[in-house]
Structures are given as C-alpha cells and as structure tokens.
C-alpha cells in the first residue's frame, strides 16, 4: 500500500481529529474570553457552535459529527447534534454541538454557551463593554465578544438543552 493510499484511507480519521480539535479550541478560547471579562470561571459549558469557514469544512464536519450523535435541531443555518458520548473540554463535558453553515457575516471560529444564573448575570454585565443583548423569538442572551478573540461567549436565559427538551 502506498503512502497516498494510506492518506486516503485515513481521511475520515483526520477529519474527525479536525472536528474534535476545533470543538476543543472554541471551548478553550470561549472560556478564556469569559474568564477575562467575568467572574464566572466555574460555570459549565452547555452548547457549542462551530462557524464553518467554507462549504468543504461544513461537509467534512457534518460527515464526522453524524457518527458521534443524532440531529436534534434543524435550522436554516445548520444542524444541532446531541452527542452519544460527551467530548471533554476545559469547561466540562459537552454534548450539544451545532455545525453552522458558512456565513459571510460570521468571521469568528464559533461560540460557546455557558450555564449561568442568567438574571443576576444580566444585571451585572449587560452594560459592560463587549456584551450585547440579543433577543430572539423564544429566548434572549448576552453575547460577549472582543477583537482579540476569534470566538464569542454566550449566556442564555434558557439553556439550549431546555429549549430542545433534552436532559443532559
């Protein structure tokens, strides 16, 4: 078997490695962002979204994650997956991951949602620089971003698992 044959055979493993590496990167950088601007260093991760940078990456990540769990939410922007086994991240075990289609408006690598006491968190941080209140039809969140970070940290009033009716 030639080197090129081995490379082709190993492509799914490489793609899976890229997916897991990207998830852990977003979790780590979002945690660093959260910890830099809040005093919530121990709040766990609830949900993570990868902002795919192109169609090829979207297809590769989708193909890889489909082997790790099942689709629990379908949106125009992409699918959310409930993983059969959690991925260990710096912010705790992670079971909800969205693979988002490429979007010219989103240059960040992704975001992570953290479980907090939202009411108190909002009171404390809403007016701080870098925080944006985002209101959607069924929920609201504070989104933290900073130009030195290629990720965002989010804090929702209703955890994603609860919105989806999933017990983690």
pLDDT tier at 6, thresholds 50, 70, 90: very low
In 3D, which of 76, 84, 159 has the Cα closest to residue 117?
159
Provide the token pair at 4.
Answer: 């090129």
pLDDT tier at 158, thresholds 50, 70, 90: very high
**Alpha-carbon distance 33 to 158, whole Å?**
21
- Select the more confidently predicted residue: 12 or 128: 128
**Alpha-carbon distance 79 to 149, whole Å?**
24
**Alpha-carbon distance 19 to 29, whole Å?**
15
| Residue 61: CATH number of its domain | 3.10.180.10
96 forms beta bridges with 82
Q: What is the mean pLDDT of residues 147-153?
A: 97
Domain of residue 34, residue span: 3-164
Q: pLDDT digits over 28-70, tens only?
A: 999 999 999 999 989 999 999 999 999 999 999 999 999 999 9
Please tell me the total count of domains within the chain.
1
Provide the token pair at 63.
Answer: 């193909």
In 3D, which of 49, 76, 54, 77 has the Cα closest to residue 65?
49
């Amino acid at each position: 078997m030639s080197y090129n044959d081995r490379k082709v055979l190993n492509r799914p493993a490489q793609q899976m490695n890229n997916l897991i590496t990207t998830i852990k990167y977003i979790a780590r950088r979002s945690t660093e962002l959260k910890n830099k601007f809040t005093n919530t260093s121990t709040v766990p991760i609830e949900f993570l979204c990868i902002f795919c940078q192109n169609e090829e990456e979207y297809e590769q990540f989708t193909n890889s994650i489909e082997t790790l769990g099942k689709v629990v939410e379908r949106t125009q922007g992409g699918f959310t997956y409930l993983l059969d086994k959690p991925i260990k991240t710096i912010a705790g075990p992670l079971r909800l991951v969205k693979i988002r289609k490429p979007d010219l408006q989103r240059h960040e690598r992704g975001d992570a949602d953290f479980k907090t006491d939202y009411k108190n968190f909002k009171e404390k941080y809403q007016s701080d620089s870098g925080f944006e209140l985002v209101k959607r039809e069924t929920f609201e969140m504070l989104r933290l971003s900073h130009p030195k970070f290629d990720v965002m940290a989010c804090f929702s009033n209703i955890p994603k698992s609860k919105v989806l009716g999933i017990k983690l």
